[in-house]
Amino acid sequence: MPPDRPALTAEPVAGRGIACVAAMAGNAAVSRMMASPVPVTIAPPSSPEFLALVEEIEARRAAIEAHSTAQAEQIRASADALKQRFRTNTDAKAMAVEQAHAAALGVVQQHASTAQETIQGNLDAELARVDAAAEAELLRLDGVIEDKHGAVTRHAEDKATLATTAGDEQAQRATEGTTERTTRVNEIANAKIERYRTHEQAEEIRDTVESAKRDVLAELNRTGTAVASSVRTKSTELGAHFRKEAAQTDFEQPRSDARTQILENRDRTKDTLREIAANATARITAEASQLSTSLQEQSTQRSQDVRAQAALFDTLIDESVATTITQLAEPAEALANDLASFAQDNQDAACYQPFVEEARTELLAAADSRQA
């Protein structure tokens, strides 16, 4: 009989020891049967019939051993095939579990990636909106500054025009006053001349009045012209002052300060938006990582649990095989031992022909009955 062979299907380390012990227990019964004394030693004298019976017994013992060994091998082969099918199914289930968790992990990662892309897209849109708002505010600032500059210029021009108009009016009044005073001087001079017309010194008085009138009129004209010219000069200078003052009004510093404030507000708002987006992205990444770790741990544990069922099944099958082989081999072992014992123990009757014939009939019939 060939030496005992381990099961064809490899067991995990945890179940290998138990499976090997069970297989060895199953092989022991067959090994003990084959270890019976073969062939039986027959001491002479002995009859040819008894020797023939012994040969038949030996042949029957060999057949019993071969049959028992074949049964054991068939049982082991069937068990190995069953274990292999169960392990194949178990591996398929474990792979299905791993694939399902891998698919779930992919979904988690895809959702996280989509959420992060959405956050980044929203952030880009908000940053663009903030930039556009700042640009619009800068444009409005330039418009406001230009409007203020125009208003100041117009106001200065209005004041300059008003000053010029007032100067012209004052000069006109000075001219008109000079005309009125000139007329009055003429009237007074004429009245004086008329009053002293009959005077003995009328000629001298007239010359004196005319001379004085000329002097007064010359002074009035000079004074009037000087006043009118002075008023016009002052009003012109005042208008020029208003225009210069408007031109020198500082609008660049307020413009620069306002631009700086607008840009600072823009940058501060963008920094806040980036911080909010970074926090949201970090939270999504952490949650996805935690969920991925949990899914990976579950996948590993469940696949291990499923594969552990194969090891347990192997152990149970090996134990069952050992029990079955033992149950089949022990009766065969007992029958082989009984046959060997008969030939060994009944040598003293070997020459008694009727006993040999009867023994052949009964012993072999009994062996057939026990094998059945």
Q: Is residue 35 predicted with pLDDT exceeding 70?
A: no
pLDDT bracket for residue 162 (50, 70, 90): confident
Indicate the pTM of the whole model. Answer: 0.46
Q: Report residue 72 as tokens.
A: 């054991």
What count of other Cβ atoms lies within 10 Å of the Cβ of residue 143? 10
pLDDT bracket for residue 2 (50, 70, 90): very low
- For residues 305 and 311, what is the distance between their CA atoms, to the nearest angstrom? 10
Nearest to 325 by CA among 81, 77, 83, 2: 77
The values of phi and psi at residue 83, to 5°, are -65, -40
In this predicted structure, which of 68-72, 102-106, 159-163, 321-325 has the lowest mean pLDDT? 159-163
Q: Report residue 259 as tokens.
A: 């631009």
Q: Is residue 348 predicted with pLDDT exceeding 70?
A: no
What count of other Cβ atoms lies within 10 Å of the Cβ of residue 166? 15
